[in-house]
């Protein structure tokens, strides 16, 4: 069985991430969307909230699992029996960062290979930071994030008084 993991912060998950996830399910028997605890970023949603939101918005996609993890991503991959890591590559500016991550992961776990997927055009400029900023400033980006993600963000920002 070909298992791949698709790790990320997913703070929050966007239609761009979902697009990559769907592409990956066409190639792998099982794709594990792995929500990271250690990301080096201050997140707006807690780990459990990010995991729960990912579960809700991907519930209709077959061949996937949503799991959270802490520690090194390669250790999680090992535990899950995955030797392939999936990442989205949106622009040349992503490349250097992605290359260094892929090489470090390979150094840590020789069997791991990273495969890059290119998102659809309409998601090329999308990022979770941009989504948070637009929502904070009252903009609407309905076709870039699922409705319930927009609602969760608005609620969270009110609660946190952001």
Tell me which residues touch ligand COA (CB under 6 A). 7-11, 14, 16-17, 20, 36, 38-39, 72-73, 88, 90, 101, 104-105, 119, 123, 126-129
> Is 17 assigned a catalytic role?
yes
- Residue at shortest CB range from ligand COA: 16
DSSP state of 123: G
Q: For residues 50 and 43, is the Cβ–Cβ distance under 8 A?
A: yes
- Lay out the sheet containing 3-8: strands in order across: 64-69, 30-36, 3-8, 84-88, 113-117
Which among 2, 41, 111, 136 is annotated as catalytic?
41
> Is 22 assigned a catalytic role?
no
Q: Return d(Cα 33, Cα 50) in angstroms, integer.
A: 11
DSSP state of 122: G
> Is 90 assigned a catalytic role?
yes
Nearer to ligand COA, 56 or 106 (CB): 106
> Is 87 assigned a catalytic role?
no
Nearer to ligand COA, 9 or 84 (CB): 9
């Amino acid at each position: 069985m070909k298992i791949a993991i698709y790790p990320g912060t997913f703070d929050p998950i966007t239609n761009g991430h979902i697009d990559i996830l769907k592409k990956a399910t066409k190639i792998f028997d099982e794709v594990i969307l792995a929500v990271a605890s250690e990301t080096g970023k201050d997140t707006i949603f807690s780990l459990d909230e990010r995991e729960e939101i990912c579960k809700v918005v991907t519930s209709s996609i077959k061949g996937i699992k949503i799991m959270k993890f802490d520690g090194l991503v390669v250790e999680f991959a090992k535990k899950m029996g995955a030797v392939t890591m999936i990442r989205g590559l949106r622009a040349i500016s992503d490349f250097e960062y992605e290359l260094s991550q892929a090489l470090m992961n390979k150094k840590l776990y020789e069997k791991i290979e990273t495969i890059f997927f290119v998102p659809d055009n309409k998601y090329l400029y999308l990022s979770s930071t941009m989504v948070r900023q637009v929502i904070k400033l009252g903009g609407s980006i309905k076709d870039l994030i699922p409705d319930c993600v927009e609602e969760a963000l608005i609620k969270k920002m009110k609660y946190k008084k952001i």
